[in-house]
């Protein structure tokens, strides 16, 4: 992570293991990187290098937030905004990251800056359309609630957004397709994870039931012969169609690990702990190509698995995805 990060933030892409400055930065990547570093500090406490990374990534989010509270997503290497406004997922992943920073005991300046960014962006979440954006916001709100348990507004927002996810589920699901949409695309497990977290905070049994049904569906679809086989991004998987096997992305394994451990924490069912280890095994060679996706020599992660093997680039999303999964496993021990 240090080699991918400069004074501005974490660079988006690499040429093999070398940072590719031509591709610049994204808010998405810096938000996820902030979460990884906060998780690291929660486990390992005082580490000046990682604390510096936290400041860099949070400063990046602060810079990318527009005056109205929304976010740019794309920034060139020479610090020029490349879009007018980022997606809902960009904005809400930033809120999720800031929620993490708010809920920790790290430096007060970090906490207060994260809270200011969060509060400014939250006003736009009442009109979210994307189920993933709703899920990211729920995850951020759950952490916000941990930091400020006497504030009732986060709870109201958690209920509102989680009920919206349940509505999505009721509209799209069927006995053979218990899911929130008529397709599976990227970061699928985040939807189930958000419901498990909402149940932890709110205690509504509907949230737990839907979380289990939807996550168990993901397991049935993506765990084949005890290997994790994520939905490929070359065609995804539409209801009634044929699922794409490639390209497989590290973010899917990471989401699956975190959702499985959330399920285990809530239910105590050891099958979910096993699923977390199966999904993490994808990084270590237990996958459809029998290839290592994590690179222990560089501490990075390859960008994915193609029909011909690994994509040898080792960008921010892939590396952060590995770290998020690894840190979540470590925290669960």
pLDDT digits (tens, 9 = 90+) for 175-217: 999 999 999 999 999 999 999 999 999 999 999 999 999 999 9
Q: Which of 138, 160, 182 is the last residue of a domain?
A: 160
- Domain of residue 59 covers 1-160
Assigned domain for 84 exists: yes
- Contact between 151 and 104 under an 8 Å Cβ cutoff? The reply is no
**Token pair listed for 55:** 């400041």
Backbone angles phi, psi at 71, to 5 degrees: -130, 145
Q: Does 4 lie in the same domain as 153?
A: yes
- Contact between 252 and 187 under an 8 Å Cβ cutoff? The reply is yes
3-state secondary structure of 83: coil
Q: Does 212 lie in the same domain as 137?
A: no
The answer on pLDDT for 24 being more than 90 is yes
Q: Does 281 lie in the same domain as 324?
A: yes
Model-level pTM?
A: 0.97
**Omega within 30 of 0 (cis) for the link into 247:** yes
Q: Does 188 lie in the same domain as 151?
A: no
How many residues are listed for the chain in this entry?
Answer: 333
- The CATH number covering residue 121 comes to 1.50.10.10
Residue with tokens 């209801």: 239
Assigned domain for 27 exists: yes
The answer on pLDDT for 68 being more than 90 is yes
Q: Does 178 lie in the same domain as 137?
A: no
Q: Does 214 lie in the same domain as 151?
A: no
Q: Does 113 lie in the same domain as 9?
A: yes
Q: What is the pLDDT of residue 76?
A: 98
3-state secondary structure of 304: strand
Q: What angle do CA 194, 32, 109 make, to 5 degrees?
A: 100
3-state secondary structure of 78: coil
3-state secondary structure of 305: strand
Residue with tokens 């006003």: 123
- Contact between 233 and 244 under an 8 Å Cβ cutoff? The reply is yes
Assigned domain for 216 exists: yes
Q: Does 217 lie in the same domain as 146?
A: no
Assigned domain for 293 exists: yes
The answer on pLDDT for 102 being more than 90 is yes
Assigned domain for 151 exists: yes
* Burial classification of residue 31, based on how many CB atoms lie within 10 Å of its CB (0-12 exposed, 13-18 middle, 19 or more buried): buried
Q: Into how many domains does the chain fold?
A: 2
Q: Does 240 lie in the same domain as 180?
A: yes
In this predicted model, what pLDDT tens digit does every residue of 238-276 receive, in sequence order? Answer: 999 999 999 999 999 999 999 999 999 999 999 999 999
Residue with tokens 């800031």: 98
Query: 282-312 burial, b if ≥16 CB within 10 A, otherwise e?
Result: bbeebbbeeeebbbeeeebbbbbbeeeebbe
Q: Does 179 lie in the same domain as 63?
A: no
Q: Does 194 lie in the same domain as 80?
A: no
Assigned domain for 165 exists: no
Assigned domain for 103 exists: yes
Average pLDDT in the chain = 96
Q: Which of 160, 182, 203 is the last residue of a domain?
A: 160
Q: For residue 40, what pLDDT band results from cuts at 50, 70 and 90?
A: very high
Q: Does 237 lie in the same domain as 181?
A: yes
Q: Which of 103, 126, 160 is the last residue of a domain?
A: 160
3-state secondary structure of 301: strand
Q: For residue 333, what pLDDT band results from cuts at 50, 70 and 90?
A: confident
């Amino acid at each position: 992570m240090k080699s991918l990060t400069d004074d501005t933030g974490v660079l988006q892409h690499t040429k093999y293991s070398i940072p590719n400055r031509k591709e610049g930065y994204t808010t998405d990547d810096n938000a996820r990187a902030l979460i990884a570093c906060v998780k690291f500090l929660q486990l390992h406490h005082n580490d000046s290098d990682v604390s510096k990374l936290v400041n860099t990534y949070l400063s990046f989010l602060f810079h990318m937030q527009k005056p109205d509270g929304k976010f740019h997503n794309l920034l060139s290497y020479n610090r020029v905004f490349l879009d007018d406004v980022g997606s809902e997922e960009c904005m809400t992943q930033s809120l999720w990251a800031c929620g993490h920073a708010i809920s920790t005991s790290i430096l007060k300046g970090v906490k207060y800056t994260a809270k200011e960014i969060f509060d400014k962006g939250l006003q736009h979440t009442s009109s979210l359309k994307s189920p993933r954006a709703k899920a990211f916001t729920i995850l951020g709100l759950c952490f916000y609630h941990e930091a400020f348990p006497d504030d009732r507004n986060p709870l109201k927002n958690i209920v509102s957004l989680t009920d919206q996810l349940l509505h999505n589920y009721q509209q799209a699901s069927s006995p053979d397709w218990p899911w929130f949409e008529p397709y599976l695309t990227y970061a699928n497990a985040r939807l189930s994870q958000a419901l498990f977290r909402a149940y932890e905070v709110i205690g509504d049994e509907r949230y737990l039931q839907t979380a289990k049904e939807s996550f168990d569906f993901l397991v049935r679809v993506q765990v084949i012969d005890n290997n994790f086989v994520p939905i490929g991004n070359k065609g995804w998987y539409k209801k009634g169609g044929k699922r794409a096997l490639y390209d497989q992305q590290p973010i899917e394994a990471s989401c699956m690990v975190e959702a499985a451990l959330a399920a285990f924490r809530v239910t105590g069912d050891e099958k979910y702990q096993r699923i977390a280890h199966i999904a993490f095994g994808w990084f270590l060679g237990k996958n459809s190509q029998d290839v290592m996706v994590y690179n222990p020599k560089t501490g990075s992660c390859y960008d994915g698995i193609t029909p011909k093997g690994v994509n040898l680039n080792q960008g921010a999303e892939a590396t952060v995805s590995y770290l998020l999964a690894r840190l979540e496993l470590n925290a669960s021990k």
